[in-house]
Structure 1
Amino acid sequence: MHILALHGINLNMLGQRDPAHYGTVTLADIDAAMQRLADELGVRLTCFQTNHEGQMCERIHQAHREGVDAVLINAGAWSHTSVAISDALAILRCPVVEVHLSNIHAREPFRHHSHIAHVARGQICGFGADSYLLALRAAAAFSPCARHPR
């Protein structure tokens, strides 16, 4: 099973940007924790981060061509603004899990709407870095390759 973790705009600045909302954990810390969990779950994990919307869309297209089994995505602010990323995700035939460190529904009103939600199997938010681990578990559980699909 191959799961792709996509990190969007500004997530490379985790640990330095707005610790009140995002904590002090870095993206490298999150990727390492996900890799440890992926190893436990027996899944292959690929992580990708970009601050360029077109590159994110290209990586999603590549995931489609590769036939990845599940995608988890924290598109950052693009979650609330990018129809392009939403359209790219809609191409995928695998489960998509939307993930956010903060509870987007308890923040500014513009963050309450996600352009990704309608193409996602589910959304996990508000649990800090653990949101990613929960999303990885969900992606593994709901992938068509899961041993015990739900």
Structure 2
Amino acid sequence: MTQKILILNGPNLNLLGTRQPEVYGATTLAEIEAMCHARAQERGIAVTCVQSNHEGALVDQLHAARGVFAGVVLNAGAYTHTSVALMDAISSTMLPVVELHLSNIHAREAFRHRSFIAPVAVGQICGFGAAGYPLAIDALLAHLGADE
């Protein structure tokens, strides 16, 4: 059976390409999803990409991932800094999660330095723009032992 990874994107990421390109780049979410599918094909795995602007929908996606996906790449957007619910969902599912951000959250406003996701994630990738998504897939696969 092919290993499957969930790529889960949070609020406002549907506006990528037009939303603050000086911060988030000019790459659209559709282009990022194509990059993820290309990396998955290279690595012999499958990915499913989901985006929602709603916190509860993201929680539902994490719950539904149990027993279906080997792990999750999560760009929770602004919910990174506010959502105990997402943190609890990650802890509850016991799936490995790589936290991902297009921008370097540690070089931005002070409120963005705090991540509720980081303590329950296997790692964090930030500041590499759209290139962070294939990096996150590779990091998650390494964590899962796919590189051994």
SS in structure 2 at match of 1:3: strand
The question of 1:40 aligning with 2:42 is answered yes
Picking from 57, 60, 68, the partner of 2:59 is 57
2:88 maps to what in 1?
87
Question: Aligned partners of 1:101 and 1:92: how far apart in 2?
Answer: 25
The CA distance in 2 between the partners of 1:142 and 1:79, in whole Å, is 21
Q: Pick one of 26, 47, 50 that aligns with 2:28.
A: 26
Identity within the alignment, %? 53
User: Which stretches in structure 1 are left out of the alignment for 5+ residues?
Assistant: none
Once residues 77 and 47 of structure 1 are traced to their aligned partners in structure 2, the CA distance between those partners, rounded to angstroms, is 18
The alignment yields a C-alpha RMSD, in angstroms, of 1.0
- CA distance, structure 2, for counterparts of residue 23 and residue 98 of structure 1: 18
Deviation per residue, 1:90-127 (Å, 9 max, x gap) = 11223210000000000000000000000100000000
**TM-score (norm. length: structure 2):** 0.95
- Distance in 1 separating the partners of 2:112 and 2:72: 21
Number of equivalences: 146
Partner residue, 1:120: 121
* Moved >3 Å (runs of 4+): none
Runs (5+) with no aligned partner, structure 2 = none
